Structure 1
């Protein structure tokens, strides 16, 4: 019974992970709402850690709360599901694996943005996205702990 339940959870996790990845690809690379209206005329990039984070904090009054939230918290929030669903959908459940894969996917997105000139390659985004993946993994661990405590001794 326990193996069957684990397999069902993994199947649901895989489906949700695929749906999330499709959403992520669309939202980060093609969404008009996020400013992906077409290629820019030049390559845009930031290779100095904390430059954009500092800029958004310093000019938060001028840029507005929505722009600051979208850039800072949004980059974290968009990767929380990645960190949550990845261990649920795969055999690899370690924090280290989630950290590496979160960074790797974020790096792929940033490189794609640079090469296609949609958005900006930003090392701050790498940091924030990876942090989001790690927070999502923490949420996965918490939910797994609660589920196991709740169902302990109930025949699962």
Structure 2
């Protein structure tokens, strides 16, 4: 049952997420191409310079939580059942998306986003594994 729901919803979820990454949350096109490649410095600077905790949670935690469903991709693509394969596939895909943000100037290519998003996939994969071990009846085919 859960696998069937996932297979139906992952594509619309992915399209929605891409919309958010390029056009959502009041995004406008940057005047210049922006790239941030120093791991964690941009995120730590954002946290340090942000007054409202809600903004920190929305951006930092959102960058993890919104990508957790991609840890379940093995349910759709059996090759991605393996954590290593799933992570490598995801890193390749998210780097391409970040590059599109850079080239279109509808976002910033940030290494921190790649790290946080990939951590979300890792957490999602761990949750999937736990569900498969403990709730096989509920998961279905």
So what's the TM-score if we normalise by structure 1? 0.79
Using the TM superposition, name which of 39-48 and 122-131 deviates more: 39-48
Equivalent of residue 8 in structure 2, options 3, 11, 15: 15
Gaps of 5+ in 1: 1-7, 152-156
Structure index of larger Rg: 1
2-side partners of 1:22 and 1:57: how far apart?
28
User: Is it true that 1:131 corresponds to 2:119 in the alignment?
Assistant: yes
Aligned to 2:26: 35
1-side partners of 2:129 and 2:77: how far apart?
14
The one-character-per-residue Cα deviations of 1:90-129 (angstroms, maximum 9, x if unpaired) are: 1120111221122122212211110000121100011000
So what's the TM-score if we normalise by structure 2? 0.86
In the TM superposition, residue 141 of structure 1 has moved relative to its aligned partner by 0.6
2-side partners of 1:71 and 1:52: how far apart?
12
What do you get for the CA RMSD once the two structures are aligned? 2.1
User: Is it true that 1:54 corresponds to 2:41 in the alignment?
Assistant: no
Moved over 3 A (4+): 8-13
2-side partners of 1:121 and 1:106: how far apart?
10
Gaps of 5+ in 2: none
